[in-house]
Amino acid sequence: MRSVIKVSNPEGVKSVVDQQFEIGKRIIAAGLVPILEPEVDINSSTKGKADRCCLDLLMENIKGLDSSQKIMLKLSLPDQNNHYAPCIEHPNVIRVVALSGGYSREEANARLSRNQGMTASFSRALTEGLSAGQTDSEFNQKLDSTIDSIFQASIT
């Protein structure tokens, strides 16, 4: 479930994060693992502040989970390296994946490689440079090199 945070309004960010966890707990109760996705808009003039607010509220909610309640997080690439490390290291968090969020694949890979423990979830960046006009060979070569570059950025 994706919710987009456009500006760092503490009440608004809290509402988004709380809603993600509220619905996430229903998903857990059904025996599944929720993927919570409070996405901070990369074009926000207050992105860094929104990242910090989001982290604080994520950790507050994560710490309120029972030890058996596991979640995954799908987050925007932060401006500060390793910003989401507390989430990555928490035992209730199975995985933290990064959204390319509108960055070019090159920029998304560079940012991802500076965030240890985050894995790519780059659907848009994956298709960058692919087109129906390419030959099968060109398409496959481009896709292979794209997958390799995203993989390399993810293994930090």
DSSP state of 63: H
37 as an active site residue: the answer is yes
- CA 135 – CA 72 distance, rounded (Å): 38
11 is catalytic: no
* pLDDT at res. 71: 98
The CATH number of the domain holding residue 102 is 3.20.20.70
Q: Which residues of the chain have pLDDT under 70?
A: 122-126, 128
> Tell me, what's the pLDDT at 149?
74
Is the Cβ–Cβ distance between 113 and 103 less than 8 Å? no
Alpha-carbon distance of 38 to 31, in angstroms, equals 22
SS3 (DSSP) at 44: coil
**Given 14, 74, 107, 142, the catalytic residue:** 74
Q: Domain tally for the chain?
A: 1
Structure tokens at 47: 């992105």
Q: Which domain holds residue 117?
A: 2-154
